[in-house]
Amino acid sequence: MSQRRSLTEGLEETPTPAESVRNFVYGKKGTPAPTVGRTPFSTRIRTDFFTALKTASLQRQLNKTEPNTMADILEEAIEPWLKSNGYIQ
C-alpha cells in the first residue's frame, strides 16, 4: 500500500496545468510520434458488401477477433492489392 502524505506534499508533486497541457499536446519527451495516421475516407459500395462487412465486424467484435472494425478489415483487404500493383512497398 502506498504511503500516506499530506495535502501540501501531494500538491507540490502534482504537475502544473501548463505542464499537463504541454505533455498532452506534445507527448512526453522521448516518446516517438506515431508514423501512420488515419484519414477520413468516404465512398459508396454495394449494399450486399456493406451488409456482409458490418456483419463480419460485429461478429468479430463479439468473438474478440482482430481485425474487428470495419476500417481495419477494409485496410487488410486493400493492402495486398496496393502492394501487388506497386502503389505501396
For residue 84, what pLDDT is reported? 96
Is it the case that residue 28 has pLDDT exceeding 90? no
Which amino acid does the sequence have at 49? Answer: F
Within a 10 A sphere around the Cβ of 73, how many other Cβ atoms? 17
Q: Is residue 47 part of a domain?
A: yes
**Do the domain assignments include residue 25?**
yes
Domain that holds residue 58: 7-84
Longest CA pairwise span in the chain (Å): 64
Of the ranges 38-42, 45-49, 53-57, 69-73, which one carries the lowest mean pLDDT score?
Answer: 38-42
Count of structural domains within the chain: 1
1, part of any domain: no
Helix, strand, coil tally for the chain in percent (to 5): 55, 0, 45
Q: Is residue 15 part of a domain?
A: yes
**Mean of all residue pLDDT scores within the chain:** 85
Q: Within a domain: residue 43?
A: yes
pLDDT digit string (tens) for 60-88? Answer: 999 999 999 999 999 999 999 999 999 99
In a domain, 35, yes or no: yes
Residue 12 — pLDDT band, cuts 50, 70, 90? confident
